[in-house]
Chain A
C-alpha cells in the first residue's frame, strides 16, 4: 500500500537509489503516541501489547515514546508497572520490556481542563527535545466518546493541534463508536475537522487490521479464478455473520444506548461487506480503495420503512446456557433496564444495487450470547442449472460455498460436491480448507499492531474515511429509526446459546436459502 503524504510538510528529496529493490519501502518515523484515556482497558489490553511487539520486531523507531494522559493519579513508574502485566502475558523478555518501558510516560489530567492540556503540551515538547525527535505525534482517542468534545476543544485551545516543527506531522486515531447516528457522526467529524484535516484522521476499526480481512482483497484480486466469478451471474447470495458468545459484560451503559445494530453493523459488518463487494480499485492505495468502498455504500439504498419490516429481524437474548454455563437474560444483566428494548441480535437482507451485484442478496446477522464466537463471510454460488444426477436418486445438490473465516482460526475454505465412495451414486459436500495457523505456522499479527504501524507510516487504507462513516450511518439510521418509532418489527426473544430467534431463519428461508453454520 502506498502511504499518503501524511500531515505536515514533508521535506521533498530526490528518490533514494538505495531504496530500489528494498522490501521495506518506508521506515516508521520516530513519534510520540499520546493516549487520551490511558487508564482504560484498551491501553493495557491492546495498545501497549501492540506497540511492544512492534518495538520488539523493530518496526517502530526506537525513539518512539508513549505518553498516557488520564484523570487517575499515577506516576510514570506506576503506569509502567500497570502496563508491565501486558508484557508478561505476551512472553516478552524482561530486558526487552525494560527497554520499551523506559519510553512510557504518564501525565495526570482531566479532559475538561485547558491547563492540563497546556501542561501536556509543555511536557511533550520537553520530551521531544530530550529524545531528539522531530515532534511527530499520534493522538490516540481511547477515552469514551462523550469526552471527545472536551478533548478536541482543548487540543485546539492548547496548541496541540499544530505540529511543533514544520517538518513534523500530527495524526489522530479515533476509536469506534464514531457517533451513534448520522447526525452525531457529522457533529463529531466537524469537531475533529476543527483541529485536523481529513488526511490526519485515522478512524480505527480493528476488523480492518485482521489478516483475513485484508486477504479478502488479495483472494479476489491476486487469483485469476475468483474475480470472474465474483458477480451476480455466479453468486447466489452472500452471508456475513458476526457471532459472539459474550453478553453485555460491563458495557451495559453503552450497549443500552447502542444495541447490536449500531455496535456491529455500522462499522465492522459494513466494512466487511464493502470489501467483499467493491470493484477492483485503480491502485492499492488509501484513496483508491476507500473510493470503491464508498461506491458500494452509495449503491445500497437506505431501506424504506416497509422494507425494514420485511427485511430485518431483531432479537434480545433471554436466559439460557452458553458453552455449558447457565447465563442470565439481557434484561437481568447489571445496568440493563428490566423493560429494555435494546436489540442484542439482528438479521438483515441488504442489496447492492449496481451492475455487478444486482439481484444478489447480502444477508447479515450478528448477535450476543450465540453458541460460538465466529466471524465469517460466505459466498454461496448458484447451483448447477441442470440436475443431471437426480434420475440416479441423488437429492438436491448443495451450493458451492467459499467461506472466509475472519475469527477464530482465520482461514478460507471451499465446499464442493463429490461422489461418496461406494456402489451407489451419492454426492456429498466436502471442504478444502486453508488455515493461517497451520499453513504459516504462526498466528497472524494482532490487528492493532498492523493499524498502529500503518498510522505511524501515514497509510490510511485500512481506516474509515469521513464519507464511508456517514454513508454507513445513513443506512443504519434507516433501520434504527423504524425500529425505535414503529411497531412493525417486534423484538423477538431468543434463548442464550441459540442462533437467534426463529424469525431470522424465516427471513432467509422464505427465499429458499438457509443460514450456514459458522
Chain B
C-alpha cells in the first residue's frame, strides 16, 4: 500500500490503513485549477495506474469518493498537529470535502506539500488539493478506499480577506457547510464571515481558559441564525446521562425537591466550561433560580428553599477536566451521592452515603474528540436544553 510520508503523520488519528492522494504541491489559489486537480484524482487515484472511481484498481482495490458535507477547519498553528489528526479521523467516520485552513507563513510546510513558503507576505492564498483515503476492510463487497477530498488553503495577513470567497467557490453545492471552530480565541477576523455562511458551527468552549471567552462562544449561538454546537456540552453527555440515571432510582427521584447542595470538582487552574455548563444544566433542569454569588459559591432559590452550588478545585488534578459531582439533599428524603471520574476512564465510581451506603461502578462513555465531533454533526435536532444551560452559565459567570 502506498503511503504519503508528508502529511501522513498528521493526517489521520486512527491506526487504520490510509492513503493520501495528490502530490501537486502547494500553489497559488486557483479555483478552476483545483477543481480540475480534484477531478483528475478520480480519473487516476494512484498516479494514472488506477481506473476511475468505484472501479477496482490494478491491485484489486476500489476507490470511492464520498462526501456528506463541506467541512471547514481553520487550524491555528499551535493546534495544527492535534487537529489535523482529528480531521483525518472525522473524515474517516464522516466523509466530507475538507477545507483545512492554516497560516501560510507559519504552518507546517510539509503538510502542504513541502513547497516552502512561496506565498509568505503576498496578497494571495496558497492551495493544494489532496484526498485522504481510508481502507475499509470489513465490507463483504471486498472493502476499498473511501476518500475524502481535502483542500489545504494557506493564508497570510494580506490574503486572509480572500479566504471566505475562496472557500465559497469550492463548496459542493448541495451539501451542508460545517465550520469546526476548535481553536481558542481570539478568532481570526475572517472566521466571522465563514461562520455566517455555515449551516452548522461546531465550537469548543472547553479550549478556552477565560470565562469571558467561554461566554463569547455561547453568545455566538443564534447570532447568525446558524445552529451551533459546543463540544464542551457534548463531552458532558456521560455526566448528564449518569446523573439522570442515578435520579431514575425512586429514592433519588424523591429527593430532587430537597437538594440543598451541589459541588462540582474540577482540575486545572480555573473552572473549565464543562463545570459551568454542568452546574447550569442541573439548575435549569431542576428549576433553580440564581439568587446571588459569593466567590466560588452560587446560591439558587427553589420555591422557599435554597440550593448552594460550589465549583471546587482539585489541587492534584492539572488537566482542565471534571473530577467529581456531589449532590446532597436534606430532610425526609436525605440523599448524599458522589460521582468520581478520572479522565478517559470508561467507568465512574458512585458512592452513596445516604440514605444508605453503597459504592458502585457505572459505565462512563468517554469518547475521543473525533467521535464527539461526528456525533454533533449527525445530531439534527435543536437543543433547547443546551441553550438554557448556556444562558444560565453566562448568568453565573456574570453574577
B66 in contact with A18 (CB, 8 Å) = no
A218 lies within 8 A of chain B by Cβ: no
Interface size on A, residues (CB 8 A): 30
Give the contacting residue for B241; candidates A22, A409, A437, A441; CB below 8 A: A22
Roughly how many angstroms separate A14 CA and B243 CA in the complex, as a whole number? 16
**Chain B contact residues (Cβ within 8 angstroms of A): what range?**
35 or more
Taking CB atoms and an 8 Å cut-off, the chain A residues in 417-466 that contact chain B are 435, 437-443
B93 lies within 8 A of chain A by Cβ: yes
Instruction: Tell me which of B35-43, B101-109, B138-146, B187-195 binds A.
Output: B138-146
B247 in contact with A18 (CB, 8 Å) = yes
A409 in contact with B364 (CB, 8 Å) = no
Given contacts A20-B285, A57-B365, A441-B93, contact A408 B241 (CB under 8 A): no
B383 lies within 8 A of chain A by Cβ: yes
B contact residues around A441 at 8 Å (CB): 92-95, 134, 136, 146
Roughly how many angstroms separate A19 CA and B248 CA in the complex, as a whole number? 9
A27 lies within 8 A of chain B by Cβ: yes
Annotate A23-37 by CB proximity to B: 1 below 8 A, 0 otherwise.
110010000000000
Roughly how many angstroms separate A105 CA and B377 CA in the complex, as a whole number? 41
A438 in contact with B244 (CB, 8 Å) = no
B286 lies within 8 A of chain A by Cβ: yes
Roughly how many angstroms separate A57 CA and B139 CA in the complex, as a whole number? 21
A18 in contact with B93 (CB, 8 Å) = no
B contact residues around A3 at 8 Å (CB): none
A22 in contact with B362 (CB, 8 Å) = no
CB proximity of A14 to chain B, nearest CB, Å: 6
Taking CB atoms and an 8 Å cut-off, the chain B residues in 193-243 that contact chain A are 237, 240-241, 243
Give the contacting residue for B140; candidates A24, A409, A442; CB below 8 A: A409
B contact residues around A442 at 8 Å (CB): 93
A409 in contact with B95 (CB, 8 Å) = no
Give the contacting residue for B141; candidates A19, A22, A408; CB below 8 A: A408
Roughly how many angstroms separate A437 CA and B362 CA in the complex, as a whole number? 32
B256 lies within 8 A of chain A by Cβ: yes
CB proximity of B74 to chain A, nearest CB, Å: 23
A224 lies within 8 A of chain B by Cβ: no
CB proximity of A499 to chain B, nearest CB, Å: 19
A contact residues around B247 at 8 Å (CB): 16, 18
CB proximity of A323 to chain B, nearest CB, Å: 13
Roughly how many angstroms separate A14 CA and B134 CA in the complex, as a whole number? 48
B346 in contact with A58 (CB, 8 Å) = yes
Taking CB atoms and an 8 Å cut-off, the chain B residues in 101-151 that contact chain A are 134, 136, 138-141, 146
A62 in contact with B363 (CB, 8 Å) = yes
Given contacts A16-B247, A27-B241, A27-B245, contact A439 B66 (CB under 8 A): yes
Roughly how many angstroms separate A441 CA and B286 CA in the complex, as a whole number? 39
B contact residues around A512 at 8 Å (CB): none
Residues of A whose CB lies within 8 Å of any CB of B are 11, 13-14, 16-24, 27, 57-58, 61-62, 132, 373, 407-409, 435, 437-443
Residues of B whose CB lies within 8 Å of any CB of A are 64, 66, 68, 92-95, 134, 136, 138-141, 146, 237, 240-241, 243-245, 247-248, 250, 253-254, 256, 282, 285-287, 346-347, 360-365, 379, 383-386
Closest 10 CB pairs of A and B: A21-B385, A408-B140, A58-B363, A18-B244, A409-B141, A441-B93, A17-B285, A13-B253, A438-B66, A438-B64
